[in-house]
Structure 1
Amino acid sequence: MAKDKKPRRPRAETPKGFRDYFGVDVTERKAMLDRIAEVYHRYGYDPLETSAVETVEALGKFLPDVDRPNEGVFAWQEEDSDWVALRYDLTAPLARVAAQFRNDLPNPYRRYAMGPVWRNEKPGPGRFRQFYQCDADTVGAASVAADAEICAMLSDALETVGIPRGDYVVRVNNRKVLNGVMEVAGVLDPADPSKFEAERGIVLRAIDKLDRLGEAGVRALLGEGRKDDSGDFTDGAKLSEAQAEVVMGFMAARRETGAETCARLRELVAGSAMGAQGVDELETIATLLDAQGYGPDRIILDPSVVRGLGYYTGPVFEAELTFEILDEKGRPRQFGSVAGGGRYDDLVKRFTGQEVR
């Protein structure tokens, strides 16, 4: 007679892509978040705490490189057939709050939020499925002065948590400028924005990989495609050499000063009203930051910054730590990007049908 098998004991292990935090880690993180909150308060931003769970409909299709709304998030279906998911960032919940409570909130509404977010993505070194975000946004401000303020506040927050000037840089660009370049290159038709959508997506992802792939790798992705070291082939945007040259010129447009960079960008977007508007906005941001003492040792204009999310409609920015660290194999590496964002005028419009900038 066969013996009954003993019930299998559960393994005491953290799920893949997650980690536990003990003692000093928790204490130091709280102290860091408190210092960042002080900066946000000083700029006049109010705290907001939203639910960790949102409806998938409210979250929308705003994760990078996904086709389905519940791809890349931890989602499940409720008994009443509504799909809900753990929030993947703190911006999508803000859009829902701004629409739901629009008659009760001040205009403009300036809020910050801090807390964990969850992404159902493949984990890797330094890339977890649960991590903290420290978010700050302004809803209802048409002027790019709000974007300049966010960049200045980010710079102050980095220095407040102990990152000295010279060990970081905030890079600023404008998606309207990039759209203007694409219009000049013939891969954007203002009369039919859906035309060439697939090609533009490939171009965006290619530009975003400039630091990792270099100019040759990006140029390959703008053309027929690229084979990586493992032999995997990634289809390209199939741009002609002339079209690719326009995009490559855009990425190389940075000059010594913000004024010189804007002058070069204006040349590249000649003939595009959208591109010219984007350059005007960059000039305004650069002028405002310079007047407040945020020079190139802290914030610069950099056309290579595109940001991956599809909802950005204007200025975009990214903060990068410039000092070297050692990876898990002891090799020197730059720390890289630690923060980013941008303007997304159409996000609240999804709920109200009215433009909220």
Structure 2
Amino acid sequence: MSEKAKKPQKLKARLPRGFVDRSAADIHATNEMIEKIRRVYELYGFDPVETPLFEYTDALGKFLPDSDRPNEGVFSLQDDDDQWMSLRYDLTAPLARHVAENFNEIQLPYRTYRAGYVFRNEKPGPGRFRQFMQFDADTVGAAGVQADAEMCMMMADTLEALGIQRGDYVVRVNNRKVLDGVMEAIGLGGEDNAGRRLNVLRAIDKLDKFGPEGVKLLLGPGRKDESGDFTKGAGLGEEQIEKVLFFVGIKDYAASADDLAKLVAGTSKGEEGVEELNIIGALVTSAGYDATRIKIDPSVVRGLEYYTGPVYEAELSFDVTNEKGEKVVFGSVGGGGRYDGLVSRFMGQPVPATGFSIGVSRLMTALKNLGKLGQVKPLAPVLITVMDGDVQSMGR
């Protein structure tokens, strides 16, 4: 042969986008944090359970197979009998499947916790990964909002056990029923208005970012940002906007509860939701958790796909420096709510449930900012020297 044989090309070592290799220091810090969280959960009487990384796709709720493959958002494959399976998107839907499948053996209320990786088939970006860890606690089989109040108190205790001081965090609480009541009160009830309700929720969710004036524009005709990009608004009228802004602008819930009750009076669930918030407020206050630790806050709008009652969010209120060098409030490190319909999908009967999920990586970043992690030094390495075939000496 006249030509030299081509050398086989070297395989390129590439970490998949949106995934990370974890260092020893990161693993030690994570283990240290999870152990502290676990101790609080077990003091409250919660026991561990573990579900697999894969579930049948139809068990994951809104992420169902279409005619060719499951919708985007989950990593999916077909097994050998052509059934779609997906890597779990969160830890809640797998728990709902586990409870339904073992319902006759489980003693209610079923109080459980679990930590594990979840997977999102989304475009990765700064601080946004396709694999990350969550730590959840759930109570299944308790219909009363006492269980929701307990979740909020347990979250406050967890943050303090991790070294986050009072004043540096708050657990904010809202209720899906109240939000639905406000929507009904402004004429956006029913299935026909689902799209407009979603636009209103998206606008409310921008309150911290754009303030009341920015939200007012998003609720109305729309908003143009500094670059000139225009975001179409929800198209509400002046009176509708006023009612929504009153609701999300409530700072002192106790002083505004009566006005809120009037706003949602006559709606199918609104009055019930206000009463539930009142009970949660009374329970946490009587247990010694004042509004600086657990606060009723109608501006909380978090992932409302399957929540049916109280929703809650744990936020850290100290400043950190972002990628652009700006001082910003750290923000949310976890949240959850009541999801009475999730287990019921498998059962054909009502099964109440409520739960809280901590974003482990995000909370760990916050603890590192506060100097609360990685203080324990790992064991020093051991050196073994071989002097000859018969004698070994060992020293530190």
| TM beyond 0.5 | yes
Residues 1:82 and 1:287: Cα distance change in structure 2 (over 3 Å): same
Partners of 2:79 and 2:232 in 1: CA distance: 38
Matches within 5 A, 1:1-357: 6-61=7-62, 70-188=71-189, 193-255=190-252, 258-357=253-352
Partners of 1:269 and 1:240 in 2: CA distance: 18
**Paired letter, 1:330:** G
Unaligned segments of structure 2, at least 5 residues: 353-396
Check conservation: 2:57, 2:63, Cα contact below 8 A: no
Check conservation: 2:70, 2:76, Cα contact below 8 A: no
Partners of 2:70 and 2:227 in 1: CA distance: 30
- Note the C-alpha offset of 1:108: 1.0
Residues 1:69 and 1:243: Cα distance change in structure 2 (over 3 Å): farther
- Note the C-alpha offset of 1:330: 2.1
Check conservation: 1:261, 1:301, Cα contact below 8 A: no
Residues 1:239 and 1:104: Cα distance change in structure 2 (over 3 Å): same
Residues 1:4 and 1:179: Cα distance change in structure 2 (over 3 Å): farther
**Paired letter, 1:292:** A
- Note the C-alpha offset of 1:186: 0.3
Partners of 1:3 and 1:227 in 2: CA distance: 63
Give identity over the alignment, percent: 57
Check conservation: 1:322, 1:334, Cα contact below 8 A: yes
Partners of 1:171 and 1:197 in 2: CA distance: 25
2:32 match: secondary structure? helix
C-alpha root-mean-square deviation of aligned residues, in Å? 1.9
- Note the C-alpha offset of 1:238: 2.0
**Paired letter, 2:109:** P
Residues 1:7 and 1:215: Cα distance change in structure 2 (over 3 Å): farther
Partners of 2:21 and 2:117 in 1: CA distance: 13
Which of these two proteins has the greater Rg computed from alpha carbons?
2
Check conservation: 2:176, 2:304, Cα contact below 8 A: no
- Note the C-alpha offset of 1:10: 3.4
Q: Residues 304-356 of structure 1, C-alpha deviation per residue, up to 9 Å, x if partnerless?
A: 00112311110000011100111123221111100110001111111111111
Partners of 2:12 and 2:213 in 1: CA distance: 47
2:11 match: secondary structure? coil
1:102 match: secondary structure? coil
2:99 match: secondary structure? helix
- Note the C-alpha offset of 1:12: 2.7
**Paired letter, 1:307:** R
Partners of 1:278 and 1:11 in 2: CA distance: 57
Q: Residues 111-157 of structure 1, C-alpha deviation per residue, up to 9 Å, x if partnerless?
A: 11101111112222222211111101111111000000000000011
More displaced 10-residue stretch of structure 1: 123-132 or 217-226? 217-226
1:124 match: secondary structure? coil
Partners of 1:3 and 1:264 in 2: CA distance: 86
2:250 match: secondary structure? coil
TM-score normalised per structure 1: 0.92
**Paired letter, 1:99:** A
Residues 1:2 and 1:295: Cα distance change in structure 2 (over 3 Å): farther
Residues 1:322 and 1:4: Cα distance change in structure 2 (over 3 Å): farther
**Paired letter, 1:282:** L
**Paired letter, 2:142:** A
2:191 match: secondary structure? coil
Partners of 1:113 and 1:311 in 2: CA distance: 20
- Note the C-alpha offset of 1:78: 2.3
Partners of 1:352 and 1:144 in 2: CA distance: 22
- Note the C-alpha offset of 1:13: 3.4
Residues 1:62 and 1:172: Cα distance change in structure 2 (over 3 Å): farther
- Note the C-alpha offset of 1:6: 4.1
Q: Residues 147-199 of structure 1, C-alpha deviation per residue, up to 9 Å, x if partnerless?
A: 000000000111111111111110001011111101110001xxxx3120111
1:166 match: secondary structure? coil
Residues 1:200 and 1:8: Cα distance change in structure 2 (over 3 Å): farther
- Note the C-alpha offset of 1:232: 4.3
Equivalences, count: 347
TM-score normalised per structure 2: 0.83
Partners of 2:244 and 2:226 in 1: CA distance: 25
Check conservation: 2:171, 2:293, Cα contact below 8 A: yes
Residues 1:297 and 1:253: Cα distance change in structure 2 (over 3 Å): closer
Partners of 1:69 and 1:176 in 2: CA distance: 31
**Paired letter, 2:342:** L
